[in-house]
Every structure is written in C-alpha cells, then in structure tokens.
Amino acid sequence: MLRATAVSQSFGGERVLDDLSIEVDAGEVLGVIGPSGVGKTTLLRTLALSLEPDEGSVTLEGTDVWAAGEADRLALRRRVGMVFQEASLFDGSVGHNVEYGIRVRKPWSDRIAAAVGLAGPPDAVHESLDVVGMTDKVNQHADSLSGGEAQRVSFARALAYDPDVLLLDEPTSDLDPRNTAVIEEAIDEARNRGIGVVVATHDMHQAERVADRVAVLLDDGVTEVGPTDVIFDDPTDERTRKFISGELVY
C-alpha cells in the first residue's frame, strides 16, 4: 500500500538513506530495527510524506506522492499518521489533542462552530482514547499528564482520524512496562482495524513481539526484510545475524 522505492536521502553531504526500498501493506505491522543514528527516523519521516527524498519515489496505493500537486499531496499525507519519539502534545486538553487531526480535516464553518461550542467532540475521540485506556482523562490538560500518559495520548491522536498507515517512531522508548504493554496492545488494535503500521524501535524484543515482518537497517541500507520469525531465527544475511545476536555492536 505505502511503498518507498530506491529512496536516498542526504543531510549536508552525508548520505543517511541509500537506495532503500520498503513497503507496508494494510493490516500488517512492519518493524524497523537498527542501531541509533542509522536513519530510522529519517525513513519514517520519508514514509510520512513529510520529507521529500533526494532520489527515488514514494507511492501510496500506486500514486507517486512527490509527483502529485500540492492539493493531492495534502490528501495523500492525510491518509498517513505519524507518532513521534517525543509526545509533543498541544497546549490544551487531552480531548483537544486527540480531536486535532479530525478538526483540521473539517471545513472551516464546522471548525468555527466547534470552537464556539456548537458541536461536541466526535465519537472517534472517545474510541481512540479507549484504545490506550485514557478515556477518563479526556478533559485533563496535556501539561499535567505523566510521560507515559502523554505518549499514549500522542498515539490516540494519530489513531483518531483513522489513517491508512500509522508510523510509530520509538513509541515506547521512555516507557515503563505497563505503558509499553498498553501501546503494544494499541498496535495490535490498529492492525485489526486494517491499518498498516510501521514501528521503528531499537528494542529487538519489541519488534519480535509486535511485528509481522521486520526490516533490519544497518549503516548502508536495509540488509534484510522478512517475516519476523525468519529474521530472528534464521536470517540469511550474515550481518543481520550478527546484529540480532548482539555480536555486531554499534
């Protein structure tokens, strides 16, 4: 469904992604593992259609995103959701945050009506807060949440507008086991809804738990992509095997 083909990306002459191809389908979870600084976030931002690759193409259901006009690209971009490493919640209530993606998709007349209190929050706000177990905090101010709660709200915020693809950048890197479990269950729920999920993580065990397929990103690109059990139990690439087994230390 969402496919990057032969993409390259450099920053200041330094090539971070080199001729990389990857694809995620509806209703699957793709894990992206690799050492810190290898370009996982860069890859996700490319897939989120917020970073135009120097070379190569990104297509969503066959439509070349960067060949499309600005209005079409916005429409394509709006089918993809991304949850960042940092929660970065807006100044406002939990409900306000979760509703954001729904709100910006509405015509201005509806947005103004909602702003002056003529329309209540849509059901999707409640439903996606339910997925992360935060319905009771809907009116709480985002500033007063714990780090784990903020990360859960950030997840719900991207789930609320029902994207086709959801990109998660280290969604549990700062979280305790309980919050991590909540997020991993939410990833399952997203898959059940038919969303294609990409999870970048340096926690290999997490990739093993949540992913259907895993892509291993080592310094000059994807060394191997395949079903999770194959990657972890029987990798074909020697460097993948060393990375998985911890022999290759970065």
- Binding residues for Mg ion, per CB under 5 A? 40-41
Give whichever of 102 and 231 is closer to another protein, judged by the CB atom: 102
Min separation Cβ 206 and ligand ATP, Å: 13
Pick from 1, 4, 20, 39: which binds ligand ATP (CB under 6 A)? 39
Instruction: Tell me the DSSP string of the chain.
Output: -EEEEEEEEEETTEEEEEEEEEEE-TT-EEEEE--TTSSHHHHHHHHTTSS--SEEEEEETTEEGGGS-HHHHHHHHTTEEEE-SS----SSBHHHHHHHHHHHTS-HHHHHHHHTTSS---HHHHHHHHHTT-GGGTTSBGGGS-HHHHHHHHHHHHHTT--SEEEEESTTTT--HHHHHHHHHHHHHHHHTT-EEEEEES-HHHHHHH-SEEEEEETTEEEEEEEHHHHHHS-SSHHHHHHHHT-S--
Under rule CB under 6 A, residue 42 binds ligand ATP: yes
Under rule CB under 6 A, residue 182 binds ligand ATP: no
Pick from 20, 31, 41, 49: which binds ligand ATP (CB under 6 A)? 41
Residue 161's nearest CA partner among 117, 206, 193 is: 193
What is the footprint of another protein within residues 6-25 (CB under 8 A)? none
Give whichever of 101 and 171 is closer to another protein, judged by the CB atom: 101
What number of other Cβ atoms are within 10 A of residue 102's Cβ?
18
Under rule CB under 8 A, residue 155 binds another protein: no
The site map against ligand ATP for 201-230 (x = CB under 6 A) is -x----------------------------
Could you tell which of ligand ATP, Mg ion, another protein, none binds residue 144, using a CB distance below 5 to 8 A set by kind?
Answer: none
In which residue are the tokens 């709006």 written?
78
**What whole-number distance in Å separates Cα of residue 93 and Cα of residue 23?**
35
The site map against another protein for 67-96 (x = CB under 8 A) is -------x--xx--xx-x-x-xxxxx----
Give whichever of 7 and 138 is closer to ligand ATP, judged by the CB atom: 7
Pick from 1, 7, 38, 125: which binds ligand ATP (CB under 6 A)? 38
Under rule CB under 8 A, residue 197 binds another protein: no
Q: Does residue 3 contact residue 58 with C-beta atoms inside 8 Å?
A: yes
Min separation Cβ 186 and another protein, Å: 17
> Which residue ranges make up the site for another protein (CB under 8 A)?
48, 50, 74, 77-78, 81-82, 84, 86, 88-92, 100-101, 104-105, 115-116, 154, 157-158, 161
Under the rule (CB under 6 A), what is the footprint of ligand ATP? Answer: 11-12, 16, 34, 36-42, 202
